[in-house]
Amino acid sequence: MLTVLTQDNPKAHPHQSVSDALQFDDASLDAVLVADAWHWFAVETTIAEVRRVLKPGGWLGLVWNTVTPALPWEKELAGVDPDRKGTPDADQTSLPFPAGETEYATFPWVWEITPEHYIANLATTSAVLAMTQSQRQSTLDGARSVLARASAERRRSTLSFHHSAACARWTPAKG
């Protein structure tokens, strides 16, 4: 994954490590951001690491994206896509941050991508990877046909995929 990331984002500085052993100096970052990945982390040790690397006043931002079908073709696609991003909803009650230091917000957003891009992304989701080859083939073909019809109607190379981002921001108290 890191290799793909580096190829696509030559300006980013890549670091191969887990979340509870970050390779950054104490108080060296303005923000630590985690998109659709918090559920993979060892929570207690990660929080200790985040505290260590954040500058005073810095914050930890967590985001969980979910698909929110708005147009008829998006709803049809949701029936085909077994994954629906595959991430748990932000269960705010289960987050271990003090209420007074934590903010929550949800933002609707649109992912504007080509059908090919969507299919390539769908093919890498854990739900699709876990399928047998014939299941996978039929799922991807089903999604392709929905997208082909939607593109033809819209007469554009890209489609708008409506999403919602549930966010939490923890700003550890200073000192």
Partner 1 sequence: MAPRAVAVVVDDGAVLVMHRLSDGAAYYTLPGGSVEDGESIEQACTRELHEETGLHGRIVGQVMTLDNRGRTEHYVLMTAERGELRVGEPEASRTSATNRYCPMWVPLTELADVNLRTGRGATGRDASPSWRGAGHQYGQGSDVRRGRAGVLEVATELSRRRRRLVGPAAPARVADVGAGTGKLTSLLVDRGLVVEAVEPDRGCLPS
Please report, as ranges, the residues that interact with partner 1 according to CB under 8 A.
1-9, 11-19, 22-24, 28-38, 40-41, 53, 63, 70-72, 105-110, 112, 124, 156, 160, 162, 164
Report d(CA 113, CA 160) in Å as an integer. 7
CB crowding 94-111: b at 16 or more within 10 Å, else e: eeebeeeebeeeeeeeee
User: What is the closest distance, in whole angstroms, from the C-beta atom of residue 147 to partner 1 in the complex?
Assistant: 17
Pairing status of strand 54-67 against strand 29-35: parallel
User: What is the closest distance, in whole angstroms, from the C-beta atom of residue 120 to partner 1 in the complex?
Assistant: 10
Report d(CA 118, CA 125) in Å as an integer. 11
Nearer to partner 1, 5 or 130 (CB): 5
Nearer to partner 1, 2 or 130 (CB): 2
Nearer to partner 1, 54 or 140 (CB): 54
User: What is the closest distance, in whole angstroms, from the C-beta atom of residue 118 to partner 1 in the complex?
Assistant: 13
Report d(CA 119, CA 123) in Å as an integer. 6
User: What is the closest distance, in whole angstroms, from the C-beta atom of residue 23 to partner 1 in the complex?
Assistant: 8
3-state secondary structure of 28: coil
Report d(CA 93, CA 83) in Å as an integer. 24
Nearer to partner 1, 134 or 155 (CB): 155
